[in-house]
Every structure is written in C-alpha cells, then in structure tokens.
Amino acid sequence: MPVSPKPSTRRPARFRVGALAGVAALALAGALVPATASASPEPPIAEIVTSDNVEHIANIPKTQALTNNNSDLAFTGDYAIGGNYDGFTIYDISEPESPVIVTQVLCQGGQGDVSVSGDLLYFSVDYPRADENCGSPAVGVDDPNGFEGIRIFDIADKANPEYVAAVRTDCGSHTNTLVPSKDGTTDYVYVSSYSPSARFPNCQPPHDKISVIEVPVDNPSAAAVVNEPVLFPDGGNPGGTAPNGNRVSATTGCHDITAFVELNIAAGACMGDGIILNIADPANPTVVERIRDDENFAFWHSATFSNDGKKVLFTDELGGGGAATCLESVGDTHGANGFYRLNGHINDHGKGDIRLKFDGYFKIPRHQEPNQNCVAHNGSLIPVKGKDFFVQSWYQGGVSIIDFNNPRKATEIGFFERNPLTNQSLGSGTWSAYYYNGYIYSNDMGQGFDVLKVDDPRLNGAEAVTHDEFNPQNQTKY
C-alpha cells in the first residue's frame, strides 16, 4: 500500500425486487448478489426495485478498508476504479456478473474523484492533510502547510498501485477532468474547486478560476500547475434569491467540467453559472458562452454532451445532495436536468463561437420519501447510434435511464433503486452510474458497487460499442 509519492514514469406499475440481506461475506469473496424476480406493491425496507427492463446482477458492499462514502468511477480495460473519500478500489469486471476486488488503496483526503489515463490514475484531494503522503493526518483549513490537490498513481500493476506524484492546487480538488492532448504525449487535468474564505490561506477569495495541471505522460512525476485561468472576471453569479423564491448559489469557482476534445469544447457547471469553454489550446481554456437559470437552478453541478456534441445536459444539485428534493412539493423543474442546444463550433485553431438555447427539463417521476436525499447527480450517455439516451445517479432516487432525443419531452425508460434503509438518515444513495461495455456500473455511497443489465430494444446496438478506457467527464464520439 503506497504511503508517499515516488518518481515514475429515479416506479412504473411493473417492477422487480431483490433482497439485500446477508451479502457482505459473499461479496468480499467476489461472489455476485443476485436480484430475484418477485412482485410486491410495497417492497420491504432495504430491498431493490427495478423497472422490468433492468436487472440487478451484482453488488459488492463496502469493506472495512474504505468505510467512508463512495464517489466517482472511471474505467480501463477490464477494470473499474471506484473513488472513496478514504482512497480508491480497483474492481476486476472481466466477468460483470461476478466482479472482484483487486486491491484497495487507503489514502484519505475527501471526495476521491477519479480519472484514468493509460497507466495513470488522477485522484482528487479536497480535505487538507498534514502533507501529501498517504496516511498523513487531517489538518484544519487554516493550516497554510496543509496539502490539497491531485495525487497521481501508476496503476500498471492493478494489484499494486504506485503513488508517483502530488500537485497542490488552490482550494484543493473537488473534481478533476482529464483533457488529453491530441498527440497523446501530455495529459491536462482541469481541477475544479470552490467556496473560498478569507480565513483559508490556500483558498483565498476571489476564487473565479480553475487550475490546469500539465502531466508529461512519460514522466508523471514532473506534473505541475501550468495555468490558473480566471473564468469569471466579473465575479460570476452573485447568488441570492430569485423572484420566485429559488435560492441561487453564488459562483466562487466550478464544481465540474466535461471535455469533448474532438470538438474543442468543454462544458463547465460552476455553481451559479453554466459555461462553454474553448479548449482548442487545452492549457489555456477560455469561456465562449455563459448561461444562468436563477428561476430553477440552485447549483450547477455537472454536464454531459450528446454524442454529436449538439446538445448539452446540465444537472442541478438542489440541496447540495443532502436534501429530499424528489418530492411532489418541490416540483419538476427544481433539482432537474436542463437541456440546451449548441449553435456554432470551435475549429482546431480555436476560432469560432458557441451559443446555447434552452430546450427543456427532466426530473425523475418517482417521488421519493422525505427521509431520502435525492437529486440529479453523475451519469453518462448510452452509446446508441444517432440517439440520445442517458443513465444517471439520483442518490436515493436510484439510477434512472433517460430518453432525451426530444429534450422538451425527455422521459424515464428504466430505473433501479433501493427502498429507504431502516432509520436511514439523509446522506446515502448512488453517487455515479455509467454505461460501460454493455453494463451499467453504479457506485453507491453506502451500499457499495452495483452492476446492472438493461434489456430494452431502444438500446439495441449499445453493446457493440466497446471502450478500452472511459472517463465520463472526457467524452469522445462513438
């Protein structure tokens, strides 16, 4: 287990229920936890409910090694890498019905957002530690020597990852986005973070920027911050309360960015603003379009482009992920996805322009309980040629499969969710759900790693698309 860096290169009438009890010992041995087919109008506590076209085929509960919240996922070959606030887990998914834990790395720091590039793993540290070493104690945000930023691991040997570098960034790294150079020699990592304070020595206001880390692929130990572009020179959305009572976050940085390198664009979800970036020069991203929706969006959280790059889906993390927002009383446009059409393009020389036109909202139609935190969270496209389907996590709202071919009439066509746990407090559910090589993989904050299989004629053809590597925040054309 590495300790310090070393130099190196959202229910229809029909559904399926599956029991969860008594699975921990089996899952640790790599055994699947099957979903059994039975019918019940009110499934018992802690059981699984799915639409009739979704099957839950496996679960690996969290282990004693990493007991904190699970977070994001990335994929390489036959492996899924699951982030956790205390480190990361590498799963062998060569047999998706029976995933196996290969190794777990304990390296605390909060958030644990992950991206993978060849043999390199980029890992976000968002809570300060005494130094950059794994195992170093937590320190206060007022400690000027506290480390936050990106840790870089070499995962060529999946059973024995090697910690090779650490790069400090202002305000740490809440999320990170891989932006590979077109010649393959360099990785750029866009680091998003927010919420500065005058009492944080390493996170001073105004924090209207992102950090750009340059990583020579053949020499990752030389990784360094090469730019800190200011995206909001006017300070961004000042926040406050809209005329309809919607509370809007002030923009003090970005939450997440998704890059579409082939099209020279990226979409940034930045608290009170949604933006489109020109990334023809990846070391020097510039804002070419900015939008707001103060009547409905509270916190611009993440973004995904359609396969052709002519649409973009932004998510709103109403309530910060810890609130019950999938309630009838909240409505269908608060805490929803917002769809926009892109007009224009950016060429390889960085010339051109982009304009966005609003096209509709989507929110899961399955109202949740008042004790279930539920809001739009991380997801990815399902690769169907010429069509737009999206799989997405909604915390305790579960996993939703969405048809947004007509963004004005986006609909849910499938789902997977768990009923509330006994005495469940707000703060659980699936963080991220992504389609990868024929299956949906979900990282549940409390219940572990889930594998789903979808059988729906609308998605025919998706299984024919395979990836050698997949970072949902780094899109490519299928």
pLDDT in tens, 201-250: 999 999 999 999 999 999 999 999 999 999 999 999 999 999 999 999 99
Rounded Cα–Cα distance for residues 142 and 197 (Å)? 10
**pLDDT tens digits for 355-402?**
999 999 999 999 999 989 999 999 999 999 999 999 999 999 999 999
Residue 3 located in a structural domain: no
Rounded Cα–Cα distance for residues 7 and 163 (Å)? 8
Residue 10 located in a structural domain: no
Q: What average pLDDT score do residues 258-262 get?
A: 97
Rounded Cα–Cα distance for residues 68 and 176 (Å)? 20
Give how many domains the chain has, as a whole number.
1
SS3 category, 28: helix
Q: Whole-number mean pLDDT of the chain? A: 90
Q: How far, CA to CA in Å, does 383 sit from each of 136, 313, 399, 438?
A: 42, 16, 17, 10
Q: How far, CA to CA in Å, does 451 sit from each of 61, 212, 312, 448?
A: 12, 33, 26, 10
Amino acid at 328: E
Residue 60 located in a structural domain: yes
Q: What's the predicted TM-score (pTM) here? A: 0.91
Beta bridge partners of 84: 70, 87
Of 75, 74, 106, give the one whose Cα is nearest residue 3: 106
Rounded Cα–Cα distance for residues 2 and 6 (Å)? 9
Residue 37 located in a structural domain: yes
The pLDDT value recorded for residue 245 is: 95
Residue 282 located in a structural domain: yes
* DSSP state for residue 32 in the 8-state scheme: -
Region at 314 (left for phi over 0; alpha for psi -120 to 50; beta for the rest): beta
> Is the separation of the CB atoms in 271 and 300 below 8 Å?
yes
| Residue 278's pLDDT band (cuts 50, 70, 90) | very high
Q: What average pLDDT score do residues 141-160 get?
A: 97
**Residue 309 class from Cβ within 10 Å (0-12 exposed, 13-18 middle, 19+ buried)?**
middle
**What does the DSSP assignment read for 411-469?**
EEEEEEEEPPPTTPPSS-SEEEEEEETTEEEEEETTTEEEEEEE--GGGTTGGG---SE
Domain that holds residue 371: 16-241+252-475
Residue 460 located in a structural domain: yes
Rounded Cα–Cα distance for residues 210 and 463 (Å)? 36
The pLDDT value recorded for residue 420 is: 84
Q: What average pLDDT score do residues 179-194 get?
A: 97
Rounded Cα–Cα distance for residues 333 and 335 (Å)? 6
Residue 266 located in a structural domain: yes
Where residue 451 sits, what CATH number does that domain have? 2.130.10.10
Of 269, 289, 295, give the one whose Cα is nearest residue 277: 289
| Residue 425's pLDDT band (cuts 50, 70, 90) | low
The pLDDT value recorded for residue 428 is: 87
Rounded Cα–Cα distance for residues 377 and 432 (Å)? 7
Residue 87 located in a structural domain: yes
The pLDDT value recorded for residue 5 is: 59
